[in-house]
Amino acid sequence: MSLESLKSEDLHRRVQRSLKEYIVASGMKSGDSIPTEMELSERLGISRTAIREGLKGLEALVCECVLAGRKAGVIETVLDSLDDTYPGFDWKKRSAYMLERVMTHGLRRAAEMREVALTVELLGLDNAMSKATVGWQQAVGDLRLCAEKDEMGDYRLLADRILAHLDKRPRT
């Protein structure tokens, strides 16, 4: 499968959609790697920066999905449904990885995404997704948590730890 060339509009959303379509159409299996940033950049006809920002948005979206699903007691159903929709992606394994990345790099990524949100706004486009990405990256980053060795690879343990700390924060 080839990825379509992207030009201007909201690249982050289009990168995420193109990646999801690629994963499904290519028949990726658990443990398969997505193409490198350079390969994606060439295939999509956009900068590596746009690729990285799209991936950060995907991390934030997964973070929100896993935390909400865990808190509601439906996370297994949600991730199983995602596995049905995107076979071979192994959402449980990848969710653990993405939660760990947000825990480790949330503050830096939030700062980077603020710049993206501003750029998108200056281009006259809706920057709601960029701003939402900032929110999740910042909220988890502010907790200053590091994944413990026994938590690595277990989205439930990581989600429970994040949720416990989020629940302790004062409400604004």
DSSP structure string for 6-68: --STTHHHHHHHHHHHHHHHTT--TTPPPPPHHHHHHHHTS-HHHHHHHHHHHHHHHHHHHHH
Q: Where are the domains of the chain?
A: 54-168
More confident site: 64 or 86: 64
Global pTM value:
0.75
What pLDDT is stored for residue 56 in this prediction?
Answer: 84
Express as a percent the part of the chain with pLDDT over 90.
51
Per residue in 9-62, pLDDT tens?
466 667 777 777 777 777 776 566 777 878 878 887 878 877 777 778 888 989
Q: DSSP assignment of 100-135, as one string?
A: HHHHHHHHHHHHHHHHHHHHHHHTTS--HHHHHHHH
Whether residue 24 contacts residue 86, with contact meaning beta carbons closer than 8 Å, is answered with yes
Question: What per-residue confidence (pLDDT) applies to 6?
Answer: 47
> For the domain 54-168, what is the CATH code?
1.10.1040.10
- Per-residue pLDDT tens over the stretch 132-141: 999 999 999 9
Per-residue pLDDT tens digits for 84-113: 988 888 899 999 999 999 999 999 999 999
